[in-house]
Amino acid sequence: MKAKIIAGIGVLVLVIALCFALKPASFDKKFEKTMKDMDTYLLEGDMEITKGEDVKTYVVQVGYQKQDQNEFFKVSLYDKALNQEQIILRNEEGVFVITPSLNQVFKFEGDWPMNSPKPYLLQSMADIVKGDEAKITKEKDGYLITSKVVYPNNKNFVKEEMMFDKKAKVQWLQIFNKDNSPELKIVFNKVQYNGKLGKNYFKAPSKLEAKTSSSTITDADLPLYPMEIFESKLSGKSVMDIEGESRHVLEYTGDKNFTVVERIAKAPNETQTVLMPGRMVDMLDLVGFYDGNRMSVVENGIEYTVFSDDLGPEEMMSVIASMQVAVMK
């Protein structure tokens, strides 16, 4: 009898062991292995960013390559409405912001894009999947991941949903604000893992093909007024003429003093590569150049510069980003 009991226990242990052995790996472990084995990836899709009633649409392309101890990235955002592309590139020489509509290449030092999470990077998605807040639900066609999120450069983003197919290829993602309204959505129409990228894919261009933006804003439309003013008040407005170009100056005073300078951005005839001091601030659809107490952004054909000893870089970007919501004359 005792022998039968022992034998029965042995069979039960064996069955349990077989169940664990045959159980498919959890998605988080599967995706972790996918990322570990990945040397390159290419993602392409349509991105929609919602700010209040303003909706912008972009074609987004993301390329990645692991090469020895280096990691190279290339992110292209094409604004459909403005017929305007901006590329951010990281290679062995540094970080570059490439703007064909301005016929300029800006070079930086820094650790972009790993200095903060980016929704369109698989590395950022992987961090969410393995995070403590992630809830993974098995669906008919794959896996749905839901999680609380923190994006330092996009503080409205608080919750994210991501859908992956059974091969751990991302299908779409959405990010929501505190009111559970979607503020960003990307639908991927091409996902390629460990494919071949062109020999010069990550090379910074020395000459650009000039492309004209579809922006219709002229100097007569300036200045545009920010909606985000941190409870300060407009205390001064003037126009300066420097070498035949008008610069519109707005001065705000209050608990946080700052000055906004605006001008129509003009492209040089020959491609320029400009070495930039300070650091780059990436807010997805806006790229800023921050140097101490100054932030510069070119958006919709306008160059904005915010000067302040009271505002931090993210606050300066908020001032500039609010120009895109409304124009107050």
- pLDDT for 30 beyond 60: yes
Strand ranges (DSSP E) for the chain?
Answer: 40-51, 54-67, 70-79, 84-91, 94-99, 104-108, 135-138, 142-148, 159-165, 170-176, 182-193, 233-242, 245-253, 258-264, 272-275, 279-282, 287-290, 294-299, 302-307
Q: Which of 153, 112, 126 is nearest to 41 (CA)?
A: 126
- pLDDT for 11 beyond 90: no
For residue 148, what are its two tokens?
């609380």
- pLDDT for 243 beyond 70: yes
Measure the CA–CA gap between 148 and 145, rounded to whole angstroms: 10
Measure the CA–CA gap between 8 and 86, rounded to whole angstroms: 68
Q: Could you tell me the pLDDT band of residue 217, with boundaries at 50, 70 and 90?
A: confident
Q: Which of 137, 131, 120 is nearest to 191 (CA)?
A: 120
pLDDT score, position 14: 47
- pLDDT for 25 beyond 70: no
pLDDT score, position 21: 36
pLDDT score, position 324: 60
**Please, what CATH class does the domain formed by 219-324 belong to?**
alpha beta
pLDDT score, position 15: 43
Q: What is the pLDDT of residues 158-214, one digit of tens each?
A: 999 999 999 999 999 999 999 999 999 999 999 999 999 988 999 999 898 867 676
For residue 114, what are its two tokens?
């790993």
**Per-residue burial over 167-178, b = 16 or more CB atoms within 10 Å of its CB, e = otherwise:** ebbbbebbbbbe
Question: By percentage, how much of the chain surpasses pLDDT 70?
Answer: 90
pLDDT score, position 17: 42
- pLDDT for 326 beyond 50: no
Spans of all domains in the chain: 29-193, 219-324
- pLDDT for 22 beyond 60: no
Before 182, cis peptide (omega within 30)?
Answer: no
Q: What's the pTM? A: 0.87
pLDDT score, position 79: 93
CATH fold, domain 29-193, is outer membrane lipoprotein receptor (LolB), chain A (2.50.20)
- pLDDT for 307 beyond 50: yes
pLDDT score, position 198: 87
For residues 96 and 52, the model is more confident at: 96
- pLDDT for 74 beyond 60: yes
